[in-house]
Amino acid sequence: MKMQFCSCQHKMASNLTADEEAGWFVSQKEQPWWQWLLRRFIASGPIPRHVAFVMDGNRRFAKNKNLGSVIKGHEKGFVQLAKILDWCSRFGIREITVYAFSIENFKRSEDEVGGLMRLAEEKFQKLLNDSEKLDEKRICFRFYGNRTLLSARLQKLMSDIEERTEKFEGGRLNVCMPYTSRDEISRSFETIRTHVKEGKLNVEDINESMIDACLDSGCGGTPPDLFVRTSGEHRLSDFMMWQAADTHVYFDSVLWPEFGYYNLCKAILNYQYYRTTVSKMSSLNISEETTWKMNFSGNDRDLISVKS
Amino acid sequence: MLDVAGICVAAVRAVYWLVMLVCNFLGYSPLWAQIAMKNRKMENVRIRIPAHLAVCFTERRLIDLTEVIQIMDSCVAAGIRQLSLYDPFGELVSQIGQIEQACRLFTRADLFCDGKRLHSSGLTNLKVNVLSRKMGKSALVEACKMLCREDDEITVDRVSKTLEDKFHLSDPDFLLQVGNVPTLCGYPPWNLRITEFLQTPRLPCSRRALDCCVEAFSQRDIRVGK
């Protein structure tokens, strides 16, 4: 069965056009019968609203398959991401967050970091150029992380994509780049400190909800229901540590470019199996009287309180 | 006679072939292959003792005071320097008096509970930190309040230092998720940056069980971005 699944996936990959392989969106027209059957079966149960992925294993994939360069591995990883976005959208998963580049990854070789930045520029430019597909899919793109560490050109591309897709409500894709959770939390603290210094906030009003609102995910994002990490590593690697504190965490041993439909189904089935127990655990949290929201439009941010 | 022997051999071969086929089909290695692979792997692995071990109880029924005291002893024997016991249900905090007594009489460990020092003796080999949900996001909220009262810019290092100084929260090298629920139950999120996780159905309180977990930790590849 496993072999059949693999051969079907390879078949699907070979069905992709060169344009689709290079782009963010793969064809929505056809799905192999076994994928359709599995989806119908799994979708009869609860589906996570938001899934966060740590796309780990691209370099090991390139090494194992003798691709010659680690960048080839990252390219394969991107092709897989586009397929997973399509599969998730078919399952009805509304929000996806991917860990594309960690601030720690700047420690890697200049060649690899440069190659990754070029790949990101190329893919973001392609996304902007693909106006027709963007309007068809209506997916809102958001970028989490400390953008000041990136080149001016990349920063501009990211802002343009966010602006272009801001009003879309067909789904949401959060790309974390260059990101670490600690950096995100400390930037959120700094935003609050600035508000306190300006006299807009009282220190005693600070609560979890306020920190939540000041995180990168505060602009319309939700906490993930399922956290998936590939490549057999069992750690968070500084990814969404605040948001995933009570989330279902799922580890898979396959490398990211090999994370296929079968693996996604296993992750969702695992989520369904433990959903009630995990949600019981998160209900142990203390509820807060005042919730905070970040109103946003373009680059403008405004923190507002909502009494509950 | 020969035919019967031949048939038996063929039958054994057929059964073996079928088992291999089923294992292949399901994607599992047969048990003997797994044991052989594990032994070969362990021959090449240098045992690394985690300096800081954390335990996260994901099921209330698995919290047993006797086992908790036993694991403190096993940690001392294994050379672990710090043990954080996180219980989101608050059971351990409610029994902190008994844990303190055990620390004074038997384990000779320094004991902290939700950021407060309860017991300290000069020559201890183990620091035990009992944590409840209060030390999760709530501790970060408190840290944020403290830092917001100061004039300096808030950085990652300053947040880590505040958590360490005020609540004795530091990063565990290795976290044992005790129970079958695959979640971190609100474990202090800031400190899980590079922590390795291992899910275990029970608390590995005996020395032998703890050694098995340490072996699993030794096999992990820690890269921190590189």
**How many angstroms separate the CA atoms of A290 and A284, rounded?**
18
Calculate mean pLDDT across residues B19-41. 68
Instruction: Name, in order, each residue with C-beta under 8 angstroms of A33's C-beta and a sequence gap of 6 or more.
Output: none
Please report the pLDDT score of residue B12 as a whole number.
87
Q: Cβ contact (<8 Å) for B137 and A245? A: yes
Please report the pLDDT score of residue A5 as a whole number.
41
Residue with tokens 């996570």: A48
Which tens digits make up the pLDDT trace of A59-118? 999 999 999 899 999 999 999 999 999 999 999 999 999 999 999 999 999 999 999 999
User: Which residue from B minimizes the CA distance to A2?
Assistant: B25
Q: Please name the amino acid found at residue A135.
A: D
Please report the pLDDT score of residue B40 as a whole number.
63
Nearest to A211 among B144, B151, B225 (CB): B144
Q: Cβ contact (<8 Å) for A181 and B26? A: no
Instruction: Report whether pLDDT(B138) > 60.
Output: yes
Is B83:B74 a contact under the CB 8 Å cutoff? no
pLDDT band at A2 (very low <50, low <70, confident <90, very high): very low
Q: Give domain status of residue A9, yes or no.
A: no
Given CB atoms, is B14 within the 8 Å cutoff of chain A? no
CA distance B10 to chain A (A): 27
Q: Give domain status of residue A274, yes or no.
A: yes
Is B153:A190 a contact under the CB 8 Å cutoff? yes
Which tens digits make up the pLDDT trace of A235-261? 999 999 999 999 999 999 999 999 999
- Provide ipTM, 2 decimals: 0.88
Q: Tell me which residue of A272, A241, A238, A256 sits closest to A60, measured CA to CA.
A: A256
Q: Give domain status of residue A301, yes or no.
A: no
CA distance A54 to chain B (A): 13
For residue B55, what are its two tokens? Answer: 């335990």
Given CB atoms, is B225 within the 8 Å cutoff of chain A? yes
Q: Please name the amino acid found at residue A99.
A: Y
pLDDT band at B35 (very low <50, low <70, confident <90, very high): low
Please report the pLDDT score of residue A14 as a whole number.
44
Instruction: Report whether pLDDT(B213) > 60.
Output: yes
Q: Give domain status of residue A251, yes or no.
A: yes
Instruction: Report whether pLDDT(A128) > 70.
Output: yes
Instruction: Report whether pLDDT(B36) > 90.
Output: no
Select the residue from A105, A146, A177, A186 to test the B interface by mutation, using most B Cβ atoms within 10 A: A186
Which tens digits make up the pLDDT trace of A167-184? 999 999 999 999 999 999
DSSP-derived letter for residue B107 is I
Q: How many domains does chain A have?
A: 1
Q: Give domain status of residue A196, yes or no.
A: no
Nearest to B190 among A192, A241, A278 (CB): A241
Residue A53's domain comprises 49-180+220-288
Q: Cβ contact (<8 Å) for A186 and B198? A: no
User: What CATH number has the domain bearing residue A147?
Assistant: 3.40.1180.10
Instruction: Report whether pLDDT(B25) > 80.
Output: no
**How many angstroms separate the CA atoms of B87 and B71, rounded?**
15
Please report the pLDDT score of residue B210 as a whole number.
94
Please report the pLDDT score of residue B89 as a whole number.
93
Entry pTM: 0.86
CA distance B105 to chain A (A): 34
DSSP per-residue string spanning B133-174: GGGTHHHHHHHHHHHHTSSSPP-HHHHHHHHHHHH-----SE
Q: Give domain status of residue A201, yes or no.
A: no
Output the average pLDDT for chain A.
88
Please report the pLDDT score of residue B21 as a whole number.
76
Which tens digits make up the pLDDT trace of B85-134? 999 999 999 999 999 988 888 777 899 999 899 988 777 789 999 999 99
Q: How far is CA A196 from CA A205, A276, B170, in A?
A: 10, 39, 28
Q: Give domain status of residue A158, yes or no.
A: yes
Q: Tell me which residue of A100, A71, A91, A82 sits closest to A225, measured CA to CA.
A: A91
Which tens digits make up the pLDDT trace of A197-238? 999 899 999 999 999 999 999 988 999 999 999 999 999 999
Calculate mean pLDDT across residues B21-31. 68
Nearest to A245 among B182, B186, B224 (CB): B186
Q: Give domain status of residue A16, yes or no.
A: no
Given CB atoms, is B136 within the 8 Å cutoff of chain A? yes
Helix, strand, coil shares of chain B, percent, nearest 5, are 50, 15, 35
Q: Cβ contact (<8 Å) for B182 and A241? A: no
Which chain B positions have a beta carbon within 8 Å of A181's beta carbon?
Answer: 189, 193
Instruction: Report whether pLDDT(A12) > 50.
Output: no
Which residues of B, range 89-128, sit inside 8 Å of A by Cβ?
Answer: 89
Residue with tokens 């960048």: A71
Which chain A positions have a beta carbon within 8 Å of B176's beta carbon?
Answer: none
Instruction: Report whether pLDDT(A4) > 50.
Output: no
Instruction: Report whether pLDDT(A25) > 60.
Output: yes
Which chain B positions have a beta carbon within 8 Å of A1's beta carbon?
Answer: 25
Nearest to B145 among A186, A197, A206 (CB): A206
Nearest to B141 among A186, A208, A237 (CB): A208
Count of other CB atoms within 10 angstroms of residue B177? 25
Calculate mean pLDDT across residues B150-155. 95
